[in-house]
Structure 1
Amino acid sequence: MSSKGFSPIISEYHILWEALKHYESRLEKLSSMETDEDKQLAYDEKLQDLDGVLSSIKAAAKSDFDLEFE
């Protein structure tokens, strides 16, 4: 992340992580409650994309500040 011009500080990593984990939880709930298969697929695709973003943030936080997120 930081290699693309965005260099968050430690507190910003924590805010991003917490916000994205909350969004992930919300998407999981919406997906599980959805009866329309197309909408459920859309939620699942967003969850898959979000997993990549979380992985990137986790790696950048580890590299920049030796932070560990779970």
Structure 2
Amino acid sequence: MESQTLLIKEYNIIWEALTHYEKHMEQMSLSASAEDEELSFDEKLQDIEVTRKTIQYGALNTYGIELKL
């Protein structure tokens, strides 16, 4: 039981970090001075979205942990 509590905490830390990084990338994309710079940030945002969905799916199906956006 203790290991599952630790696992839930770890998932939540990763989830919060991705959320924070996503917000940062959104701000960077909006303030980009060049189009290629903006595209680079947008690609990172897409990668974050895929990563979040993968983690969300894994947490729910493996451990029953529901992570919300």
Shorter-chain TM-score above 0.5: yes
| Identical-residue share of aligned pairs (%) | 40
How far the C-alpha of 1:12 sits from its partner, in A, is: 0.7
Query: How far does residue 68 in structure 1 lie from its aligned partner after superposition?
Result: 1.5
Task: Give the TM-score normalised by structure 2.
Answer: 0.84
Matched, 1:45 2:61: no
Matched length: 63
Runs (4 or more) in structure 1 with deviation over 4 Å come to none
Name the structure, 1 or 2, with higher relative contact order (CA <8 Å, separation 6+): 1
Q: Give the counterpart letter for 2:59 in structure 1.
A: A
- Structure (1 or 2) with the greater helix fraction: 2
What is the CA distance between 1:63 and its match in structure 2?
1.2
Tell me the residue number matched to 1:4: none
Q: Does 1:63 align with 2:61?
A: yes
Structure 2: state its 5+ residue gaps.
1-5
Structure (1 or 2) with the larger CA radius of gyration: 2
Unaligned segments of structure 1, at least 5 residues: 1-7
What whole-Å deviation, never above 9, does each CA across 1:3-40 have from its counterpart, x for those lacking one? xxxxx811110000000010000000100111210100
Instruction: Report the aligned-residue RMSD.
Output: 1.3
